[in-house]
Structure 1
Amino acid sequence: MEEKQNNYSTDSESRLQAIIDTAIDGIITIDNRGVVETMNPAAARIFGYDPEEIIGQNIKVLMPEPDKSLHDVYIDNYHRTGIGQIIGIGREVLGKKKDGTIFPFLLSISEVRLHEKQIFTGIVHDITELKKTEAALRESENKFNSIIQTAVDGIITIDTRGLIEMVNPSAQKLFGYEEHELIGRNISMLMPEPDSSQHDAYMERYHRTREPRIIGIGREVSGLRKDGTVFPFFLSISEVQLADRKVYTGFVHDITHQKVSEERLRRYAAELERSNRELQDFAYVSSHDLQEPLRKIQAFGDRLKTKEYDKLSDQGKDYVDRMLNAASRMQNLINDLLDFSRVTSKSKAFVKVKLDKILSEVLSDLEVTIEQTGAVIERSPLPTIEGEPTQMRQLFQNLISNAIKFRKEGVTPVVRISSRNVQLHAHLTSTPGDEMVEITIEDNGIGFDEKYLDRIFNIFQRLEGQKYEGSGIGLAVCRKIAVRHGGDITAKSTPGEGTRFIITLAKKHLQE
């Protein structure tokens, strides 16, 4: 019987020793003076020692200062008063490894009395990784809070009842409230009617049907400030499932300036359309009204020249010739005015236009003029853009004709045509108008003084008087075409050294 008890005792001790040796946490026992009696493999691994290096030494060798110096005092206080700071309580402390590294661990100590001997058993749970995780989590939370607090857009979080839980400074500023005035209040206070009264019903319907109106979609809505003013903003809402509940986070992007600009642009466009229509009507009606009396002047002038010319004095003949020349110029002006009025925003729809092909066709049309003047045309490849082919042809024809017309006497006219791609704003290419093509048409002709730059693109403006043929309307047409194609035209010039016209055209356009 006694032998069975001894065997049972031996088995229990072996089992207990196996548990201690294989435990993940460190287990250390010390006597009542603090001298280490046992140290399991986990404890040895945690502190970086072999057990033999620690057993027999005071436990304070595993402590950094000031705990190391205070440990003996702490044990004396416990023996004297029975009040422990860790024994029977447990807490987070710092340990010192063999290599001097300081690390955090959770220490729980129990007091054990064996045959009138007092020992203390400490369980060491290394929390280094836990502390790192906690620190990373705190850093992440701090970053997240920092982003929310410094965000330009307003951020508001509400619970499923619509009560405000969090509101960042931007949202407070947008709506004109202090934080304490909003927390715990219903989000409907920030809405004008009828949205304010309908919001609770909207949330109830969403919870019942899961059919969103804004959540996960986003749309333009109106907000109500503390001072009673209403302003437009774009609201996007995300649904967030926390561990035990659901919240909704709304992102508020103020679009007041955008909407004001859109309205100004709408009114300006409407006014411009009305003005253009009136101008076109005026030009068309005026031109047609002028045609009839002009035809009479030309008809009677032709009769005078064919039937009565010989009866006229030399001065009379001169008068008739000058009258017919003036009538002819007037006819050309009327035709040009009609051409100008036809370059409108209601022309043909834009299509893909190969500018290289357009240029080749224009040069073919100008072949006789080019041969007669001995002009040299130097060209580099031009891109394909969206545009109106007829107007592109008109643009090139006017500018190249001008380059040849305003040549210097005794000098072979040279016209250089080139292009390059232009991006108005870095990294923006998604919207029509972001990408432009810049076309340069440069000549070595007579040039002009750049102080007249604003004048040359105005209708009927001519800098060279009667020396060169034309009505002074060609460059006005060019500007109108360039503007209609989302760009503009300008020029660089020096008298006697030639002119460089720079035309910008958008590569893509809004669908009309």
Structure 2
Amino acid sequence: MQPSPNQLDDQARLKAIIDAAIDGIITIDSRGIIETMNPAALRIFGYGPEEVIGQNIKVLMPEPDKSQHDGYLEHYHQTGERKIIGIGREVVGQRKDGSLFPFLLSISEVKLQDKVIFTGIVHDISRQKLAEHAQRESENKINSIIQAAVDGIITIDSHGIIEMVNPSAAKLFGYVEEELLGKTINMLMPEPDKSRHDGYMHNYERTGKKRIIGIGREVSGLKKDGTIFPFYLSISEVQLEGRRLYTGFVHDITNQKLTEERLRRYAAELERSNAELQDFAYVSSHDLQEPLRKIQAFGDRLKTKEQAHLSEQGKDYVDRMLNAAVRMQNLINDLLAFSRVTTKSKSFEVVNLDTILTEVLSDLEITIEKTGTIIERSTLPSIEAEPTQIRQLFQNLISNAIKFRKEGVTPVVKIYHEQLQRTAHLIGTPGDLQIAIYIEDNGIGFDEKYLDRIFNIFQRLEGQKYEGSGIGLAICRKIAIRHGGDITAESKPGHGTRFIITLSTKNLQY
């Protein structure tokens, strides 16, 4: 019987639908021989129609399915027991190039007049599987990061119920993870936060007004043993379908707080000790002034009015006494100057070091001319400093360079500088940018094994040969430290000395 025109139209329409389908469609006979494969199925498996039509369907299967398929068909024909027909499941296919891929297979049985055929619909899920694998890998990576994180991480829902807690957070609060999951977050809070937290959550849900979410702040936590400790808490909010989650990142700052407290107490003790020392130096120096003035006054009277009544030895005693009084006066004045470096200090301002150096050299003009000293100087920059103290610093060091000259050698004093930076980075931190000022002479020098001594108060290496109290270099070091730097020296006996003064260009006053 010839098919009617309507039947032909239906067949053409059905073929067009099958050929245009995205999923693969394959028909096999009861022996497993491929009768048809639509273009999508051919493309999925990488074959041409002449390569597979008439072949056993197992050519599209990897082992062990390839070896088991004939047995499966025979078993079905004998028993009618289905493993996949009418059910569908995920299986693995083998392409022409040998590569394997996953796909969803659904099989239907069609009974025709003269035979039974099976139709399989193949839905390639390779991309889906790759996406699932990537997502699992990402989730595993995130989970590994969370589990290994040093800081604590806790996730709660909008009711404050703990949904996730990493090992660091559990350990920090003294719990195991199972003791926290499903409990309310305020169990980790001391009062008054414990009582206020539910109200805060409700207020945020109602008004959206944030007090810590997305901001972060320092809070207190309550450990299982009742210990209260400080930590820095930052909270992020995640909006999921139908609900909100909040993740808190917990950074324990107990050691930081202990260190801050130790430093605070140390600074307070140091300030008190320094104040006592400065008061002692100031008061002692002032208390010494009055009896010293009397010694000088009566010594002068004795020398002028009783001159005729004194023996030569008596006159010598009076001269020695007055000389000692002068040295004592200078020592007291130097001690007062040392104590005033910080107690009587003034505000910092932008100063031109070159201008100050010029003024100091002008003050020392007579000494420079008398000794024949040659000054070699380069231009110095401007920094934030206290002008008076910088002037004192230059005066002391240049005076020393001239004082400790070698006999029979023209004194030469060189003054120059260079820029320094303690840490290499793009943006300078205040106090990090420094200059080094060098004051170099060709004088008597000293053995560097005494380097630590020369900057200590009252320390002198040359005994009574040179005048001085041994306070000048101690004052220089105190000034340099106050200006964010320090002072040191390089020297050899008989080969001169080079003083190196470091000063911050921008100073943080204290």
TM-score between the two structures when normalised by the length of structure 1: 0.90
> Structure 1: any 5+ residue segments left out of the alignment?
none
Q: Which amino acid aligns with 1:350?
A: F
Residues 395 and 147 of structure 1, relative CA distance in 2, 3 Å threshold: farther
C-alpha contact 2:401 2:441 (8 A) present in aligned 1? yes
Please report how far the alpha carbon of residue 358 of structure 1 lies from its aligned counterpart in structure 2 after TM superposition. Answer: 4.4
C-alpha contact 1:420 1:439 (8 A) present in aligned 2? no
Q: Which amino acid aligns with 1:421?
A: L
1:131-162 CA distance string (max 9 Å, x none):
22112111211111111111111111111111
Please report how far the alpha carbon of residue 233 of structure 1 lies from its aligned counterpart in structure 2 after TM superposition. Answer: 0.8
- Distance (whole Å) between structure 1 residues aligned to residue 11 and residue 248 of structure 2: 63
Please report how far the alpha carbon of residue 312 of structure 1 lies from its aligned counterpart in structure 2 after TM superposition. Answer: 3.1
Which residue in the other structure is 2:79 paired with?
Answer: 81
Q: Does 1:144 align with 2:153?
A: no
Which residue in the other structure is 1:72 paired with?
Answer: 70
Residues 319 and 271 of structure 1, relative CA distance in 2, 3 Å threshold: same
Partner SS, residue 36 of structure 2 = strand
Q: Does 1:132 align with 2:130?
A: yes
Which residue in the other structure is 2:471 paired with?
Answer: 473
Which residue in the other structure is 1:121 paired with?
Answer: 119
C-alpha contact 1:157 1:250 (8 A) present in aligned 2? yes
- Distance (whole Å) between structure 1 residues aligned to residue 21 and residue 76 of structure 2: 28
Please report how far the alpha carbon of residue 78 of structure 1 lies from its aligned counterpart in structure 2 after TM superposition. Answer: 2.3
C-alpha contact 1:403 1:415 (8 A) present in aligned 2? no
Which residue in the other structure is 2:314 paired with?
Answer: 316
Which residue in the other structure is 1:180 paired with?
Answer: 178
Q: Does 1:419 align with 2:446?
A: no
Q: Does 1:259 align with 2:252?
A: no
Partner SS, residue 162 of structure 1 = coil
1:402-440 CA distance string (max 9 Å, x none):
33433344455454643342335x659675445554555
- Distance (whole Å) between structure 2 residues aligned to residue 247 and residue 269 of structure 1: 44
- Distance (whole Å) between structure 2 residues aligned to residue 453 and residue 297 of structure 1: 37
- Distance (whole Å) between structure 2 residues aligned to residue 75 and residue 497 of structure 1: 106
Partner SS, residue 286 of structure 2 = helix
Q: Does 1:399 align with 2:412?
A: no
Which residue in the other structure is 2:12 paired with?
Answer: 14
- Distance (whole Å) between structure 2 residues aligned to residue 136 and residue 192 of structure 1: 42
- Distance (whole Å) between structure 2 residues aligned to residue 110 and residue 365 of structure 1: 112
- Distance (whole Å) between structure 1 residues aligned to residue 12 and residue 219 of structure 2: 75
1:326-377 CA distance string (max 9 Å, x none):
2222221122112111111773233344545544554554455455555555
Q: Which amino acid aligns with 1:331?
A: Q
Which residue in the other structure is 1:162 paired with?
Answer: 160
Residues 498 and 186 of structure 1, relative CA distance in 2, 3 Å threshold: farther
C-alpha contact 1:32 1:119 (8 A) present in aligned 2? yes
Please report how far the alpha carbon of residue 179 of structure 1 lies from its aligned counterpart in structure 2 after TM superposition. Answer: 0.8
Report the more deviating stretch, 288-297 or 142-151. Answer: 288-297
Q: Which amino acid aligns with 2:418?
A: S
C-alpha contact 1:283 1:338 (8 A) present in aligned 2? yes
Q: Which amino acid aligns with 1:254?
A: D
C-alpha contact 2:415 2:437 (8 A) present in aligned 1? no
Pick aligned residue for 2:277 from 279, 291, 306:
279
Partner SS, residue 297 of structure 1 = helix
Alignment of 1:374-393 (within 5 A): 375=373, 384-393=382-391
> Structure 2: any 5+ residue segments left out of the alignment?
none
Q: Which amino acid aligns with 1:278?
A: E
Identical-pair percentage: 75
Residues 335 and 12 of structure 1, relative CA distance in 2, 3 Å threshold: same
Partner SS, residue 342 of structure 2 = coil
Report the more deviating stretch, 114-123 or 222-231. Answer: 114-123
Pick aligned residue for 1:330 from 323, 328, 331:
328
Which residue in the other structure is 1:243 paired with?
Answer: 241
- Distance (whole Å) between structure 1 residues aligned to residue 487 and residue 157 of structure 2: 57
Q: Which amino acid aligns with 2:477?
A: R
Q: Which amino acid aligns with 1:97?
A: R
Please report how far the alpha carbon of residue 254 of structure 1 lies from its aligned counterpart in structure 2 after TM superposition. Answer: 0.9
Partner SS, residue 25 of structure 2 = strand
Alignment of 1:487-506 (within 5 A): 487-506=485-504
C-alpha contact 1:444 1:497 (8 A) present in aligned 2? yes
Please report how far the alpha carbon of residue 213 of structure 1 lies from its aligned counterpart in structure 2 after TM superposition. Answer: 2.0
Residues 159 and 383 of structure 1, relative CA distance in 2, 3 Å threshold: farther
Q: Which amino acid aligns with 1:216?
A: G
Pick aligned residue for 2:226 from 219, 228, 251:
228
- Distance (whole Å) between structure 2 residues aligned to residue 314 and residue 308 of structure 1: 12
1:285-342 CA distance string (max 9 Å, x none):
2222222222222233333444443553322222222222222222211221121111
Q: Which amino acid aligns with 1:250?
A: G
C-alpha contact 2:146 2:166 (8 A) present in aligned 1? yes
Please report how far the alpha carbon of residue 216 of structure 1 lies from its aligned counterpart in structure 2 after TM superposition. Answer: 1.4
Q: Which amino acid aligns with 2:8?
A: T
Residues 55 and 277 of structure 1, relative CA distance in 2, 3 Å threshold: same
Which residue in the other structure is 2:204 paired with?
Answer: 206
Q: Does 1:462 align with 2:468?
A: no
Partner SS, residue 63 of structure 2 = coil
- Distance (whole Å) between structure 1 residues aligned to residue 449 and residue 247 of structure 2: 58
- Distance (whole Å) between structure 2 residues aligned to residue 376 and residue 84 of structure 1: 112
Partner SS, residue 391 of structure 1 = helix
Q: Does 1:106 align with 2:92?
A: no
Partner SS, residue 462 of structure 2 = coil
- Distance (whole Å) between structure 1 residues aligned to residue 212 and residue 48 of structure 2: 65
Please report how far the alpha carbon of residue 248 of structure 1 lies from its aligned counterpart in structure 2 after TM superposition. Answer: 0.9
Which residue in the other structure is 1:344 paired with?
Answer: 342
C-alpha contact 1:447 1:493 (8 A) present in aligned 2? yes
- Distance (whole Å) between structure 2 residues aligned to residue 345 and residue 187 of structure 1: 53
- Distance (whole Å) between structure 2 residues aligned to residue 43 and residue 380 of structure 1: 87
Which residue in the other structure is 2:187 paired with?
Answer: 189
Pick aligned residue for 2:54 from 56, 60, 68:
56
- Distance (whole Å) between structure 2 residues aligned to residue 64 and residue 476 of structure 1: 89
C-alpha contact 1:233 1:253 (8 A) present in aligned 2? yes
Residues 362 and 133 of structure 1, relative CA distance in 2, 3 Å threshold: farther
Alignment of 1:287-306 (within 5 A): 287-306=285-304
C-alpha contact 1:379 1:418 (8 A) present in aligned 2? no
C-alpha contact 2:487 2:501 (8 A) present in aligned 1? yes
C-alpha contact 1:381 1:419 (8 A) present in aligned 2? no
- Distance (whole Å) between structure 1 residues aligned to residue 11 and residue 373 of structure 2: 112
Pick aligned residue for 1:43 from 41, 44, 57:
41
- Distance (whole Å) between structure 2 residues aligned to residue 42 and residue 88 of structure 1: 21
Aligned length: 509
- Distance (whole Å) between structure 2 residues aligned to residue 195 and residue 434 of structure 1: 41
Partner SS, residue 447 of structure 1 = coil
Please report how far the alpha carbon of residue 444 of structure 1 lies from its aligned counterpart in structure 2 after TM superposition. Answer: 4.4
Q: Which amino acid aligns with 2:163?
A: E
Which residue in the other structure is 2:23 paired with?
Answer: 25
